[in-house]
Amino acid sequence: DEFVKELASDSPAPGGGSVAALSASLGAALVSMVSALTAGKEKYRDNWEDMEKAGKEARELQARLLELMEEDTQAFNAFMAALKLPKDTEEQKARRKEAIQEATRGAIDVPLKTLKACRDVALLAEIACEKGNQNAVSDAGTAAIMAQAAGKAAAYNVKINLMGLKDESFATKVREEMENLMAELEKLVDGVEKTIEKSLA
């Protein structure tokens, strides 16, 4: 409740990056739920081990994404602090410029990590969709599309922060990694949606 109030205020942080991490964390929580609903059900005995593993990984991702939610706000605050550094002398200007670039890298790193985690949530959602309790297949599907939306949001945050980066070779590397992760994520979610449509037909 406090987070939502803060989000709705005129404070620029938390913002979209934190919302992306939170959304993906909710997706991971849904995978954990499907795992719990599969455990002990005789019909899914052959899948118990795989689903238990998926549930464990989902809980780890859930916790990590909540950390990234906080880290995103911290990265933004670090960037704002760098902008406020003095710039009266040439030495101060150089130091400020360097601090801004370092903070920009941090502001890129957090949503990129969030995007990786979104891909991982989608991978677990795929397992939950195929091997989990079919009464909860819609929950597995929801996990996948939460990961997809969160991944797109994280990618937006990477892109906007790349605009301020001077290191073009690093920027190129980040863009390539981001595009590869998004392609993997979209492919996984597309597969999950096709599986669910068949299940619910």
- Predicted confidence at residue 180, as pLDDT, reads 98
- Predicted confidence at residue 75, as pLDDT, reads 96
Please write the tens of the pLDDT for every residue from 120-177: 999 999 999 999 999 999 999 999 999 999 999 999 999 999 999 999 999 999 999 9
pLDDT-above-70 percentage for the chain: 100
Are 28 and 65 in contact, with CB atoms under 8 Å apart? Answer: yes
Q: Note whether residue 130 is domain-resident.
A: yes
Are 27 and 151 in contact, with CB atoms under 8 Å apart? Answer: no
- Between the two ends of the chain, the Cα-to-Cα distance in Å is 37
Residue 199 neighbours by CB distance under 10 Å? 14
Average pLDDT over residues 20-27: 98
Range of the domain at 104: 14-199
Looking at the predicted structure, is the pLDDT value of residue 13 above 90? no
Q: Note whether residue 107 is domain-resident.
A: yes
Q: Note whether residue 2 is domain-resident.
A: no
Q: Note whether residue 152 is domain-resident.
A: yes
- Predicted confidence at residue 12, as pLDDT, reads 87
- Predicted confidence at residue 200, as pLDDT, reads 87
Q: Note whether residue 6 is domain-resident.
A: no
Tally of domains in the chain? 1
Please write the tens of the pLDDT for every residue from 54-78: 999 999 999 999 999 999 999 999 9
CATH number of the CATH domain containing 193 = 1.20.120.680
Q: Note whether residue 116 is domain-resident.
A: yes
Single pTM value for the model: 0.94
Average pLDDT over residues 33-53: 96
Q: Note whether residue 49 is domain-resident.
A: yes
Q: Note whether residue 3 is domain-resident.
A: no
